[in-house]
Structures are given as C-alpha cells and as structure tokens.
Amino acid sequence: MKVLLVRAGALGDIVLLRRAVAGLKLAGVAVGLLAPIATAHAILGPGLSSVDECFDWDDPAFLPLFAEESSGLEGLRPLVAPFGACIAYTGRTDLRRGLERLIPTVIASSPFPSDAHAADSLSRPTLALGGRPPLMPPDLEATEAERAEAEAFVADRLPPGFLALHPGSGSPAKNWPPARFAALARVLGPTPWLLVEGPADVDAARALASSESVVPARGLSARALGVLLAHAGLFVGHDSGVTHLAAAWGVPTLALFGPTDPALWSPVGRRVAVLRSSTGSMLDLSVADVAAAALGLLGGA
C-alpha cells in the first residue's frame, strides 16, 4: 500500500513528520508527501525517516482540492490513484472532502499538538494504518552525491567537528542576542565556525557575518543544508526549522527556548539537549549557561 501525507507548514513542521514516516515504512508502506515543495524536499531521500516522493502544495494542479465543488478533481486522479490511504493534517473541510473523493481512506488529524509532543501527535494517526512509529526515528540519510557536495563545501574552510550556529528563527522573541552567539563561539571554538543564515535571518546574522572566524552558509536548500550540518560537531540554535533539521541529521544539537514550549516543539534527534529560559525571555539565558549546556551535551554524547 501507499499512503499520502498532506501537511502544510514550515521546515520544522515537515521535519517533525519523521516519526510518522518511519512508522509507516516499518509497516511496509511507501510514503508520499503533499506539502510546500521547498520544505518537503528536506525529508525526500533514502532511509527509513524519508518520504519516497513528494508533491508541491502550491502546484496549480492541486487547486481543485481546495474548491467547494468537485469540478477539476478528475485531473488529479492519475496523480493520487496509487495511494490507498491518506493522512491529512488539516482542519480544512474543503481539503478533506476533496481528498475523500479521490482516495479510498482519508484520516483527518489536527496539525497542532495539544496533549503531546508534535512528533507524537503527528505519528498517532498512522496506528490506524498499521504504522509502528519508533520512539526515536533514524537520522536522515544523504545520497553519495549529496555527501560529496557537502564535503567539498567543508574542505579547506572548516575544521573537523566544526561549530555551527543559527542566530535566527521565525520570530524575534525566540532569538538569543547575536552578541551572545559571538561570545559563545569564542568560548566553544574551534574556529572558523559555520554561520547559518536563512532569508529571514539577515538582521540576526549581520552582527556575526563580518567576523574573520565565520564561514557563512546561505542560499542553500533545506536538504543541502541538512547534509552540510551532518558534518558539524555541535549545532546551537533556537526553536526553528534549522534546529529541527540539525537534530534530524544526528548532529549534537542544543536548542534554546524561551516563549515557546519544548514539551510540544523540541527537536527530535538522538543527540539533542534543550535549554529553556525560566522566565520565557531569551535575554535571561546567559552565555555561561548556554556554554555549560553545550559542553554537557558533548560530554554525554
């Protein structure tokens, strides 16, 4: 059987599907994903935690799924015909009804966690399809070509087991001050270190980008960035998609939390530690506290 997962969302939302994907694949099910393509590609590849194929949520061909009337759905039938079941993480009745006209079994589930961690909430619907979600999904895996490209980036630029820092997120309230990231880099070493900068991180990264100790990583796809981060010895970031990505690739990952709840949104990985501000303000996390947490993570790895 083939199962289609349907999930809108940013990078972290998609990466948190790994437990659901692995549970289905352990049951012998092939998995497809309908999601925004830039983030869907982050978990498209080899391995138990990756989907086998993906479709672009923003492709005009899928617009009939969001229409009240059923006209235009027949054009989608060849695309979704191989799927015997679908898990749609949505509250939209138009989308659910459109899928029900095309796929024999459709399970609708909320995309938002309430009583459990997001990875647990997202994997729960797979049980109805025989899924066997593992407690810890395996790391994402690179192809040979992806691995070679990442190694070429690292060569002569970064030391073995380099430090990677991501000072941005989707919200300024979730960000630790850039000056403290700079101080952390001086404490942890070695240099040079990798500065991860996404499209929304320009302001957060500006204070760090001019340092001679910095190798910037910008303009990379989520997939390429993940393969690159897999070579890091330590990653430090916020409640962000990039932090979820680092954890999914098995990098020792320290996630800094403030206003959001790590009980629901902490990254999932075999080498993850979370440090949350006791007040909810990122300003109340000191460099000493973060450095100690990072060294504790490495000491227990």
* pLDDT number for residue 66: 85
User: Distance (Å, rounded) from C-alpha 49 to C-alpha 70?
Assistant: 34
In terms of domains, do 108 and 158 share one?
no
- What's the one-letter identity of residue 240? S
Q: Structural domain tally of the chain?
A: 2
* pLDDT number for residue 300: 67
User: Distance (Å, rounded) from C-alpha 126 to C-alpha 131?
Assistant: 5
Contacts of 183 (CB under 8 A, 6+ apart): 287
Can you name the residues that pair with 108 across neighbouring β-strands? 88
In terms of domains, do 97 and 39 share one?
yes
Whether the pLDDT of residue 299 is over 90: the answer is no
In terms of domains, do 267 and 179 share one?
yes
Q: Determine what percent of the chain falls in helix, strand and coil, rounding each to the nearest 5.
A: 40, 20, 40
Query: What pLDDT band is residue 110 in, cutting at 50, 70 and 90?
Result: very high
* pLDDT number for residue 83: 97
In terms of domains, do 71 and 194 share one?
no
Average model confidence (pLDDT) across the chain:
94
Closest CA to 4 of 28, 22, 21, 16: 21
How large is the angle between the packed helices 287-300 and 178-188, nearest 10 degrees?
40
In terms of domains, do 165 and 278 share one?
yes
- Residue 296 within any structural domain of the chain: yes
* pLDDT number for residue 170: 87
Enclosing H/E stretch for 11: helix 11-15
pLDDT by residue (tens digit) across 23-70? 999 999 999 999 999 999 999 999 999 999 999 999 999 989 987 776
In terms of domains, do 46 and 153 share one?
no
In terms of domains, do 254 and 176 share one?
yes
Full residue range of the structural domain in which residue 74 is found: 2-129
pLDDT by residue (tens digit) across 250-292? 999 999 999 999 999 999 999 999 999 999 999 999 999 999 9
In terms of domains, do 149 and 279 share one?
yes
In terms of domains, do 163 and 294 share one?
yes
In terms of domains, do 169 and 276 share one?
yes
- Residue 181 within any structural domain of the chain: yes
Query: What pLDDT band is residue 72 in, cutting at 50, 70 and 90?
Result: confident
Helix ranges, 210-256 (H):
222-229, 241-248
Enclosing H/E stretch for 255: strand 253-257
Q: What is the pTM of this model?
A: 0.95
- Residue 136 within any structural domain of the chain: no
- Residue 122 within any structural domain of the chain: yes
In terms of domains, do 194 and 246 share one?
yes
In terms of domains, do 76 and 212 share one?
no
Whether the pLDDT of residue 197 is over 80: the answer is yes
Can you name the residues that pair with 51 across neighbouring β-strands? 44
- Residue 134 within any structural domain of the chain: no
Residue 107 belongs to a domain with what CATH number?
3.40.50.2000
- Residue 137 within any structural domain of the chain: no
pLDDT by residue (tens digit) across 117-151? 999 999 999 999 999 999 999 999 999 999 999 99
User: Distance (Å, rounded) from C-alpha 268 to C-alpha 248?
Assistant: 7
pLDDT by residue (tens digit) across 199-244? 778 777 887 877 788 999 988 999 999 999 999 999 999 999 999 9
Q: HSE-up of 236 (CA within 13 Å, CB side)?
A: 31
